[in-house]
Chains A and B, each alone.
Chain A
Amino acid sequence: MEMSKPAGHNALDDNRQGLIGKPLDRVDGRLKVTGRATYAYEYNEGGQASYAYIVQSTIAKGSIISIDSAAAERAPGVQLVLTYKNMIAQGPKTKESSPQLHDEKITHFGQPVALVVASSFEQARAGAALVNVRYQQDAGEFNLNKAKVHARVPPPNQQAPDATEGEFEAAFVAAPVQLDVTYTTPHQSHAMMEPHATLALWNGDHLTLYTSNQMLAQAQGAVAKTLQLQPTQVRIISRYVGGGFGAKLAIQADAILAAAAAKKLGRPVKLALARPQVFHVTTHRTATEQRIRLGTDKDGHIQAIAHESWSGNTAGEDFYESAADQTRSLYAGANRKIAHRLSTLDLPVASSMRAPGEAVGLLAIECAMDELAEKLNLDPIELRKRNEPSQDPTKHVPYSTRQLVPCMEEGARRFGWNKRNPKPGQVRDGRWLIGHGMAAASRGNFLRPSKASARLDGDGILTVRMGMTDIGTGSYTIFTQIAAEMLGLPPQRVRMLLGDTEFPAAAGSGGSFGAASAGSGLYDACMALRGKLASAAGFNADSALFANGQISDGGQSKPLVELVGAGLEAEGEIKPGATLKQFSQQAYGAHFVEVGVDMDTGEVRIRRMLGVFAAGRILNEKTARSQALGGMTFGIGAALTEELVVDEQLGLFANHDLAEYHVATNADVPALEVVFLPEVDDKANPLKIKGIGELGICGAGAAVANAIYNACGVRVRDYPMTLDKLLGGLPAQAA
């Protein structure tokens, strides 16, 4: 089916079995906690594998003069040393392909320059240390601010990089109240739990990769292009993925190198990145510099709004951080300017990380709004209400749903926002300065083509197949709920098979479109299967009802198992359609935070945090809440600690391990409160859901930053807000 018009009333609205929305425990939970969910590196298919270890460049830019691998080749257990000189044939570097060990060129620190393969992991690692590489080093550019002068207009990402409405410059200059601020956000790392890993094995000309990937169809195409194969010669299996957050959207070096080594050796090869390698070998979120200008009338109505963002990437990469994109639709204002520029940095490849664009864009715009509210002497919620648009101010179409104001109001009520002292630095608890802040959340909603098959057998088991992934979000569980509800079966009767390119191609997990896209493809397959079952029963497909293992119509019921014979199967598919253009689609929310700032040391601790979200229909209260909790936790990290620090002499991320790249720990995260407002979005997809995987992070960090300002009166515009940036503005100690 194509989403060409709003979805009408359907079986999920009826929810006859009550499975939709139910906080069902994860169907794969037991497998995971007992260690029986098999992750990429744990497969032993194809017999005894060899183990590979990557040798990384120790310079950031230049070229390889020589590689001496003789000692490594002689080392115990070593079977192969792969370098650009003996790498298997690969296609050229394009948008879709990612050749490895391609030539002598070094484009970033930590780039793979050789691969050592041995009988054991330890031998491979020991061998890797014996590879001696000499380099010719060139000067590189590692500083985004300095690289700005050469910034270019990047090719479109989701949307064109630039947009204008009306006459921004003139309107801004004429505005009675003006704010012009620049915020910077640092490079960040996904820091998912499972590092990238692959087991590669060849069967003749056919390659199978057990790997950790979010988007299998895309990975299949990329591997095929890189290794000059047909997609049908490549099978990707990712049944369980230990987190991705965007780091596993594209295939990475582990997949290509393992495949190459397996081909050379004629045996299976396993390759996992060691944790410190992940930071340089794979992708990260680029730093941004964002200038925001807001011009309003005396009452705070926005007349001019500009959001310009600079980000960086390796030469030849077009991905930019679309930090200003949400500002297109977030607030009203007739005169607008959105601009994105991309600079070349000699750092590892930058790519998507959880809520690419919004996550860091809202760190800037939502603090700027807080600054503006203070300037206008308005409550931050009131300022946002005054700028609530009646339709999308850039696309000039209605919103599919937009509950930003209800989210703010419900949040304010629950949080006790009216007790907040708007004047910074006034509230104390012992040696803690207490502050309260809020920010809006907004995240674009997407739908991607996605296919599914559903088959009911005589044993009463419904088997669903989708080349979809569950990256730890709960996809297995919500798809089970959808399928069970659609066919009127208990969830235990559903066998959900994901993570294999042999299955119908699905959207994959990315951009928060996974549940909506694959779920809708599944919905369509279930509708088709319902049709077949209805005709087998001699019932009218449109009026037949499915519940408790029965189909019923006109007062008659029949058990489904009696209708399937040797098994009934149907395929389904969703395609995005006109509703994407006809409606502006975002999920919304509001964050409320209470922080304490230690008045002596500047240490910041979150004391309370509440997120209220409106994100379409909620399929599973529990998994949805977990997504929001995770997003908010990401927001805390982004606000307070997360930064890949660039050594600007050497061009590396200095803190490339989890001891020094500081994600939030349990102790940094208090009990978080999550509330979902009732909503259905019939313009989004037949499930009437919206993406929620990234909504929680959007605005969360800005709310923390605004609370810090309210606590101590120090406005930091350079994330993360580590204590050194607050120290200078803290109250003087007694002399």
Chain B
Amino acid sequence: MIPFTYERAQDEAAAARAAASTPNSKFIAGGTNLLDLMKLQIEKPQHLIDITHLPLNRIEATPDGGVRIGAMVRNADLAADPRIRKDYAVLSRALLAGASAQLRNMATTGGNLLQRTRCYYFYTPGLPCNKREPGSGCSALQGFNRMHAIVGASEACIATHPSDMAVAMRVLDAQVETINGQGQRRIIPIADFHRLPGNTPQQDNTLQSGELITAVTLPPPVKGEHIYRKVRDRASYAFALVSVAAIVERSGGQIHSARLAFGGLAHKPWRVNAAEQALRDTPDRPAAYHHAADAVLQGAVGYGHNDFKITLARRTLNAVLTPTA
């Protein structure tokens, strides 16, 4: 950890202003990701802006029938919120599938979206990693890449985004609200929030420097069965190898609609329109599930240790879509 200065932001505009005007500064929320990375000198902010005391910890109804979740709402509180559990069960389930109880008590909505990859080499300073040291190379390509991406990756980086929450938000078409140093607010659809690595894997998302997340809004509830299926190496406290967030509406042997987003496959929550089209108003049969899987996995490639994810993603999706007897 390099020495840093610290301030407690008075309000959200001030926080964003401070971030914009102080070079090499970072917001700190729950600190569960940032502090770990600072100790390893993977993140090296010289100035921390503490946003934990800002009044961004409310979950409120929006006029259109949706929900607005403050950026400082803790993962544990969000998962336990009665409205979220009832109307956005996929989100509650995704949150509870993540990390551990202690971490969820600290972790925040904004911080969770911005958590960084768990790639082993990103976590080992001194080894090549384009995300950590742009231009140094990608150790995972030829190295151990069990957790890595099978879609949307680049030669520069094959990392995955580790969040469970973000996958559920993707399936819910959430929107990220921000404010910048000039006090300008904008709304970023979750689909555009995280990015693919391309040639600039050091950039995980489309936030501008100093931009503060103030809230995440969810549109009105989506009807259907809410499912979050997380496949991992142990029963708890492990990141997803593959996860599926799904909202499926079906009756009388027909699937009417299905929304699907995947974790563990890519540098961002993975959602493929063609897959959902394949399930629109179609007979509720395995053939349809396979068509959807084909669409999701189109162009999927493994890098050795993660080859199994191609099979696993298909089988997990099949399991998710198969009606429980």
What is the interface of chain A, defined by CB distance below 8 A to chain B?
A: 56, 58, 76, 122, 125-126, 129, 274, 276, 430-431, 600-603, 605, 640-641, 645, 647, 649-650, 652, 654-657, 659-660, 662, 664-668, 722-724, 727-728, 730, 733-735
Closest beta carbon of chain A to B31's beta carbon, Å: 15
A431/B233 in contact, CB under 8 A: no
Per DSSP, chain B at the interface is: loop
Top 4 A-B pairs ranked by shortest CB distance? A58-B126, A667-B236, A667-B235, A600-B319
B234/A662 in contact, CB under 8 A: yes
A601/B315 in contact, CB under 8 A: yes
Closest to B162 in A: A659
Closest to A724 in B: B308
A605/B308 in contact, CB under 8 A: no
Answer whether residue B287 sits at the interface, using C-beta atoms and an 8 A cutoff: yes
Q: Which residues of A contact B290 (CB under 8 A)?
A: 735
Docked pose: A727 CA to B318 CA in angstroms: 14
Q: Mark B139-176, 1 if CB is under 8 A from A, else 0.
A: 10011101100000000000000000000000000000
Contacts of B211-246 to chain A: CB distance below 8 A: 231-239, 241
A668/B235 in contact, CB under 8 A: yes
A650/B139 in contact, CB under 8 A: yes
Docked pose: A727 CA to B311 CA in angstroms: 8
Q: Provided the pairs A76-B3, A647-B144, A654-B143 are in contact, do residues A727 and B127 lie with their beta carbons within 8 angstroms? A: no
Task: Tell me which of A129, A600, A640, A655 contacts B315 (CB under 8 A).
Answer: A600
A-B contact pairs, 8 of them (CB 8 A): A126-B2, A126-B3, A276-B40, A600-B316, A654-B124, A654-B143, A667-B237, A728-B311
Q: Which residues of A contact B315 (CB under 8 A)?
A: 600-601, 727, 730, 733
Docked pose: A735 CA to B144 CA in angstroms: 33
Q: Which residues of B contact A122 (CB under 8 A)?
A: 1, 3
Docked pose: A58 CA to B136 CA in angstroms: 14
Q: Mark B176-213, 1 if CB is under 8 A from A, else 0.
A: 00000000000000000000000000000000000000
Contacts of B306-325 to chain A: CB distance below 8 A: 308, 311-312, 315-316, 318-319, 322, 325
A662/B233 in contact, CB under 8 A: yes
Closest to A126 in B: B2
Answer whether residue B123 sits at the interface, using C-beta atoms and an 8 A cutoff: yes
Q: Which residues of B contact A722 (CB under 8 A)?
A: 233
Q: Which residues of B contact A76 (CB under 8 A)?
A: 3
Docked pose: A197 CA to B232 CA in angstroms: 33
Docked pose: A49 CA to B241 CA in angstroms: 44
B144/A125 in contact, CB under 8 A: no
Closest beta carbon of chain B to A653's beta carbon, Å: 9
B233/A650 in contact, CB under 8 A: no
B312/A601 in contact, CB under 8 A: yes
A723/B1 in contact, CB under 8 A: no
Docked pose: A647 CA to B144 CA in angstroms: 6
Interface centre among B124, B147, B234 (most CB of A within 10 A): B234
B236/A660 in contact, CB under 8 A: no
Task: Tell me which of B118, B241, B286, B308 contacts A660 (CB under 8 A).
Answer: B118
Closest to A121 in B: B1
Q: Which residues of B contact A274 (CB under 8 A)?
A: 39
A668/B142 in contact, CB under 8 A: no
Closest beta carbon of chain A to B98's beta carbon, Å: 12
Task: Tell me which of A650, A657, A666, A728 contacts B123 (CB under 8 A).
Answer: A657
Interface centre among A122, A666, A724 (most CB of B within 10 A): A724
B233/A641 in contact, CB under 8 A: yes
A640/B234 in contact, CB under 8 A: yes
Docked pose: A668 CA to B144 CA in angstroms: 25
Q: Which residues of A contact B286 (CB under 8 A)?
A: 733-735
Interface centre among A56, A431, A605, A723 (most CB of B within 10 A): A723
Docked pose: A457 CA to B3 CA in angstroms: 55
Docked pose: A286 CA to B1 CA in angstroms: 33
A733/B318 in contact, CB under 8 A: yes
Answer whether residue B41 sits at the interface, using C-beta atoms and an 8 A cutoff: yes
A-B CB pair tally, cutoff 8 Å? 107
Docked pose: A723 CA to B237 CA in angstroms: 16
Interface centre among A126, A640, A659 (most CB of B within 10 A): A659
Answer whether residue B303 sits at the interface, using C-beta atoms and an 8 A cutoff: no
Docked pose: A735 CA to B123 CA in angstroms: 41
Q: Provided the pairs A649-B142, A668-B235 are in contact, do residues A735 and B316 lie with their beta carbons within 8 angstroms? A: no
Docked pose: A734 CA to B286 CA in angstroms: 6
Docked pose: A656 CA to B125 CA in angstroms: 12
Closest beta carbon of chain A to B28's beta carbon, Å: 16
Docked pose: A276 CA to B118 CA in angstroms: 14
Docked pose: A56 CA to B126 CA in angstroms: 10
Q: Which residues of B contact A600 (CB under 8 A)?
A: 315-316, 318-319
Interface centre among A664, A666, A733 (most CB of B within 10 A): A733
Closest beta carbon of chain A to B227's beta carbon, Å: 13
Docked pose: A664 CA to B233 CA in angstroms: 10
Closest to A603 in B: B231
Docked pose: A447 CA to B300 CA in angstroms: 58
Interface centre among A58, A656, A660, A723 (most CB of B within 10 A): A660
B234/A659 in contact, CB under 8 A: no
Closest to A600 in B: B319
Closest beta carbon of chain B to A251's beta carbon, Å: 26
Q: Which residues of A contact B234 (CB under 8 A)?
A: 640-641, 662, 664-665, 667-668
Using A276-B123, A647-B120, A656-B120 as known contacts, list a sample of 18 further A-B pairs with CB atoms less than 8 Å apart, ordered by residue number in A.
A276-B40, A601-B316, A645-B146, A650-B127, A650-B143, A654-B121, A654-B144, A659-B118, A665-B234, A665-B236, A668-B235, A723-B231, A723-B308, A728-B311, A730-B315, A733-B315, A734-B322, A735-B286
Q: Which residues of B contact A430 (CB under 8 A)?
A: 325
Docked pose: A601 CA to B147 CA in angstroms: 16
Q: Which residues of A contact B235 (CB under 8 A)?
A: 605, 665, 667-668
Docked pose: A649 CA to B146 CA in angstroms: 15
Closest to A720 in B: B233
B231/A662 in contact, CB under 8 A: no
Closest to A58 in B: B126
Q: Which residues of B contact A724 (CB under 8 A)?
A: 146, 308, 312
Q: Which residues of A contact B144 (CB under 8 A)?
A: 645, 647, 654-655
Task: Tell me which of B39, B118, B121, B231 contacts A601 (CB under 8 A).
Answer: B231
Q: Which residues of B contact A603 (CB under 8 A)?
A: 231-232
Docked pose: A735 CA to B315 CA in angstroms: 11
Docked pose: A735 CA to B290 CA in angstroms: 7
Docked pose: A271 CA to B142 CA in angstroms: 35
Task: Tell me which of B121, B125, B308 contacts A727 (CB under 8 A).
Answer: B308
Q: Which residues of A contact B241 (CB under 8 A)?
A: 723
Task: Tell me which of A640, A659, A730, A735 contacts B287 (CB under 8 A).
Answer: A735
Q: Which residues of A contact B147 (CB under 8 A)?
A: 660
Docked pose: A675 CA to B95 CA in angstroms: 39
Docked pose: A735 CA to B294 CA in angstroms: 13
Closest to B40 in A: A276
Docked pose: A664 CA to B238 CA in angstroms: 11
Docked pose: A47 CA to B266 CA in angstroms: 53
B236/A129 in contact, CB under 8 A: no
Closest beta carbon of chain B to A615's beta carbon, Å: 29
Docked pose: A647 CA to B142 CA in angstroms: 9
Docked pose: A422 CA to B186 CA in angstroms: 63
B231/A58 in contact, CB under 8 A: no
Closest beta carbon of chain B to A96's beta carbon, Å: 32
Task: Tell me which of A56, A276, A640, A647 contacts B143 (CB under 8 A).
Answer: A647
A652/B2 in contact, CB under 8 A: no
Closest to A645 in B: B144
Docked pose: A125 CA to B125 CA in angstroms: 13
Q: Which residues of A contact B325 (CB under 8 A)?
A: 430
Q: Which residues of B contact A735 (CB under 8 A)?
A: 286-287, 290
Q: Which residues of B contact A657 (CB under 8 A)?
A: 123
Closest to A659 in B: B118
Task: Tell me which of A125, A649, A662 contacts B39 (CB under 8 A).
Answer: A125
Contacts of B242-258 to chain A: CB distance below 8 A: none
Q: Which residues of A contact B40 (CB under 8 A)?
A: 276
Q: Provided the pairs A641-B233, A652-B124, A654-B120 are in contact, do residues A662 and B143 lie with their beta carbons within 8 angstroms? A: no
Docked pose: A662 CA to B3 CA in angstroms: 32
